[in-house]
A and B are shown apart, each in its own frame.
Chain A
Amino acid sequence: MSAGAATVHRALVRPLENPAAPALSLDPESREWLRDLRAEGASRDEAVDRLHALLLRAARFEVNRRRAGLPHLRGNELDEIALEAADDALMSVLGRLDDFRGASRFTTWVYKFALLEAAVKLRKRAWQGHEVPLEPETWGLFASASPGPDTEAEQGELLVAVRSAIAEALTPHQRNVLVALALNGVPIDVLAERLGTTRGALYKTLHDARQKLRRHLEERGVSLESWLEEGS
């Protein structure tokens, strides 16, 4: 393993500094949210209602951003997705209130839960009923590309080298994950659900596969940087 690859590998599994640091000084609005959500009775109920409205606003924001890519979904279905996302985000936020450290405003912190829930639901809905392609036959353009009259010989050699590296350097699981995510455009949470694993675990597999692929190519003298340079 090259020094660079080792650094990257360690960096993926090493948390950023101070993830569980004591709460920072909270802004007044965030402090008020926490106080109300930790209260009892009517005050808490009212705060939970306000929180749900905030989450629903964020979930609708996400649905509206993505709706052009989901032409088969009707307006009421999109509304339902937003509502379900807000409901699920509410449960997540209430269950993780103690995780809020004050590194951002409370509203920014809760928005990300609603955006995540809505984005995951939209990606899953877009792939509902679709087979998730994992096999090499489905590598699409990349698998079928070969040196031809209009293709540079250099590009053809690169494609052959990359296809060989994918076939030789990776475990079957790494190959399936890399092909699905990086070549076939399967969303990571859709693949995680189909394979019965988590997004974090799949990204670790993807990361390891990428490192092995890069190392395998570099060891064989394949120059990658010229292909990846900005503006090339």
Chain B
Amino acid sequence: MKRSELKRTLAGLLGPTQPEVGCDECFDRLDEYVELEVAGRDADAALPGLRAHLAGCPACREEHESLHALVGGEQA
């Protein structure tokens, strides 16, 4: 196993070290988070725990990427 592969696997097994919200709360606040990001504001300060959850949850991460791309594309 390559070191980069091991690192990815370990990160998936151990999850984020920072405090995080759960999937339901992530979904509830995702629209607000993305608009802050797209506006160039500090989304992580406004909604602590969301960034860590996105790092630990691939499904929520996919949905965040899509919403960011959709909203960001509209405002570009």
Enumerate chain A interface residues (CB-CB to B < 8 A): 4, 7-8, 10-13, 15-16, 19, 58, 61-62, 65, 103-105, 108-109, 111-112, 115-116, 119, 123, 141-142, 145, 151, 155, 158-159, 162, 166, 178, 181-183, 187-189, 199-200, 203-204, 206-207, 210-211, 213-214, 224, 227-228, 232
Contact = CB atoms under 8 A, between A and B. Distances in A.
Contact of A119 (B11, B59, B70): B59
6 contacts: A108-B67, A162-B10, A162-B13, A188-B57, A199-B23, A207-B56
Task: Assign chain B's interface to a size class.
Answer: 35 or more
Nearest to B32: A103
A132 B6 CA distance: 23
B35 A210 contact: no
Interface of B: 1, 3, 5-7, 9-15, 17-25, 27-32, 34-35, 47-50, 56-59, 62-63, 66-67, 69-71
B20 A8 contact: yes
Contacts of A189: 59
- Tell me what chain A mostly uses at the interface: helix, strand, loop, or mixed: helix
Contact of A105 (B1, B29, B35): B35
Q: Which 4 A-B pairs have the closest CB atoms?
A: A11-B19, A210-B15, A104-B31, A103-B32
Contacts of B20: 8, 11-12, 207
A103 B57 CA distance: 23
A204 B20 CA distance: 11
Contact of B30 (A62, A112, A188): A112
A111 B14 CA distance: 31
Contacts of A187: 58-59
Contacts of B18: 8
A104 B33 CA distance: 9
Contacts of A155: 1, 3, 6
Q: For A145, A178, A182, A189, which residue has the most chain B Cβ atoms within 10 angstroms?
A: A182
Contacts of A123: 59
Nearest to A9: B19
Nearest to A189: B59
B11 A228 contact: yes
Given A203-B22, A214-B15, 12 more contacts: A7-B19, A12-B19, A13-B22, A111-B71, A112-B27, A141-B5, A155-B3, A158-B6, A224-B10, A228-B10, A228-B11, A232-B3
A206 to B, nearest CB: 7
A162 B20 CA distance: 23
A8 B34 contact: no
